Structure 1
Amino acid sequence: MDVGEVRIADDRDFERLKALADKHDGWKVEYKKKDTTVWTKSTQQTEFKMIKLHTAYKDVSPPLLFDVLMDPLYRKKWDVYMLESRDIGSLNPNNDVGYYAVRSPPPFRNRDFVLQRSWLQTDKEWLIINHSVFHESAPPKKGFVRAISYLTGLVIQPDGGCGSKLTYVTQCDPKGSLPACFVNKLTQIFAPNMAKKLRKACLDYNEWKKAHQPSYKPWLHPEQISLPRLDVSRCVSTGHQELQEDILDESLVEEQEICSFEDLDNL
């Protein structure tokens, strides 16, 4: 789907994600350690490279991994990079729109997104995709740089035993001007660390869920969805682009000035 396009995701959208996850032609390995590999690939849409991560969790089942990725309340507990997340509306039981703000390592400005999220569960895999859209209720705001997700997706598969395999692909434009060292930190530090945090979150989820609406899983049970029906006529750019013009040039930041991603845990 294109940026700004709001519609129910179809097989073509999920097949595109699968192709990106499965094919490695043109991708460059940036990090490889144990069960985790990170690749990058240049694209024509943005100077910021596409990133792909593949990892395996021998002690995490695919349904558990899917629940952790979809549970918005639990996300606020384990995802230290998330500043704010709120739902806007639902297209159908497998497609919704929401606002998401993410913490950037100092001295960079924090980024935010308005995203349509779509998901699909088959007999053999679980797929989640998102892309940037617009909504009148979430215009760009001061203190944040409105970033763009051309395509971000996750593919969850069984590993043949009791565990799971996860592939994460993202093609984003964080906007602003970022130095090359920031991109290096994303592939060498952030992506592998996120994979580790996600595994720990999965191992802690069942115990946490017992005390937090244990039967509430609207991503599995459509009858539990309480989101308002999305008014597609409101999914338009607000025109408040003047806020984007005040973005500082962050490309001159030196590597030693960048807060480590691990330090975000303490911010």
Structure 2
Amino acid sequence: MEPVQLPDEAAFRAFRAQCEAEQGWQCRYSREGVAVWGQLPPPGTCAVHRVKCRVEMPGVTAATVYDVLHDADYRRKWDPNVIETHDIARISDNADVGYYSWKCPKPLKNRDVVTLRSWYVLDKSYVIVNFSVKHPKYPPCKDLVRAVSLWAGYLVQPTGNSSCSLTYLAQVDPKGSLPKWVVNKSSQYLAPKMLKKMHKACLKYPTWKREHSAHLKPWLHPEQSQLPTMALSELTLQHASSLENIDESGLREVQEERGNTSGSEN
């Protein structure tokens, strides 16, 4: 079993560079401050495409967006695609293990994922990255397809005193042969809608947080964490090859469900 290692500063800087890079990315959507790009994998490497999304967020500070990305309690309130999300254990002051399950466009099966998440404040930017791991108490379940996050995360960069941009970059194996309409719908409709919804959620977060444990932010203050501590050696990397592959390529879209589900993960 392959051991798990925490990202170092060089890894966070490399992720930021990927978020900022333009070469090799094909624009799939660009409108009203939201953009979506796709990238084919290099020949001879993992055949999982990469996606990059960016939204400009006027009226929201980078620090607020960073809080929203961490706050699982608030995620359950604003994200209609979430089935369940919670933190499992604390690995270090800036790393934890978490569980997330989400709704996929019908009639596809819903997905879930267990990830090791790490975060870092890089200059004036906030970076959060994650990748899939195996947790002994969270094996795949029969009702959900276990997806694999090869490398995913967020970059939050201030663009003014009260504005910022949020970039989401991911290479995620959904563990299924998906129909073409899912890929098109995700990039042309679902991802932009999700980013706009997140912007609205960030605008409302300061008011909500004042009424819900206003000073509790363990991602900023590790001493506040109430999670059990877990040794990194108890985790192993989750490889896609060890999971069942689901063929959903022949499924047709259920039109009445349009807009209520998402193909993205945490």
Question: If the length of structure 2 is used for normalisation, what is the TM-score?
Answer: 0.90
User: 1:87–1:97: 8 Å Cα contact kept in structure 2?
Assistant: yes
Give the C-alpha shift of residue 186 in structure 1.
0.9
For residues 74-153 of structure 1, what are the structure 2 equivalents within 5 Å? 74-153=74-153
2:24 corresponding residue in structure 1: 26
Once the two structures are superposed, what CA deviation does each residue of 1:57-87 show, in whole Å capped at 9, x if it has no partner? 1111111111111111101101111111122
Q: Relative to structure 1, is the Cα distance of residues 67 and 4 closer, same or farther in structure 2, using a 3 angstrom cutoff? A: farther
Task: Specify every segment of 5 or more residues in structure 1 that has no aligned partner in the other structure, as ranges.
Answer: none
Q: Relative to structure 1, is the Cα distance of residues 48 and 20 closer, same or farther in structure 2, using a 3 angstrom cutoff? A: same
Three-state SS of the structure 2 residue aligned to 1:189 is: helix
RMSD (CA atoms): 2.3
Is 48-57 or 164-173 further displaced after alignment?
48-57
1:208 corresponding residue in structure 2: 208
In structure 1, give the amino acid aligned to 2:52: K
User: 2:133–2:238: 8 Å Cα contact kept in structure 1?
Assistant: no
Q: Which of the numbers 238, 259, 262 marks the counterpart of 1:262?
A: 259
Task: Specify every segment of 5 or more residues in structure 2 that has no aligned partner in the other structure, as ranges.
Answer: none
Three-state SS of the structure 1 residue aligned to 2:12 is: helix
Aligned residues: 259
Once the two structures are superposed, what CA deviation does each residue of 1:231-250 show, in whole Å capped at 9, x if it has no partner? 334324799x99x54x6521
Give the fraction of aligned pairs with identical amino acids, expressed as a percent: 39
Is 153-162 or 230-239 further displaced after alignment?
230-239
1:191 corresponding residue in structure 2: 191
Is 47-56 or 150-159 further displaced after alignment?
47-56
Three-state SS of the structure 2 residue aligned to 1:9 is: coil
1:64 corresponding residue in structure 2: 64
Once the two structures are superposed, what CA deviation does each residue of 1:127-148 show, in whole Å capped at 9, x if it has no partner? 1101111110110111111101
In structure 2, give the amino acid aligned to 1:163: S
1:154 corresponding residue in structure 2: 154
Give the C-alpha shift of residue 261 in structure 1.
4.5
For residues 199-238 of structure 1, what are the structure 2 equivalents within 5 Å? 199-236=199-236
Greater strand share, structure number: 2
User: 1:38–1:52: 8 Å Cα contact kept in structure 2?
Assistant: yes
Three-state SS of the structure 2 residue aligned to 1:212 is: coil
User: 2:35–2:55: 8 Å Cα contact kept in structure 1?
Assistant: yes
Q: For the residues of structure 2 that align with 1:261 and 1:236, how far apart are their CA atoms?
A: 37
Q: For the residues of structure 2 that align with 1:258 and 1:148, how far apart are their CA atoms?
A: 27
Q: For the residues of structure 1 that align with 2:122 and 2:237, how far apart are their CA atoms?
A: 34
Question: If the length of structure 1 is used for normalisation, what is the TM-score?
Answer: 0.90
User: 1:119–1:127: 8 Å Cα contact kept in structure 2?
Assistant: yes
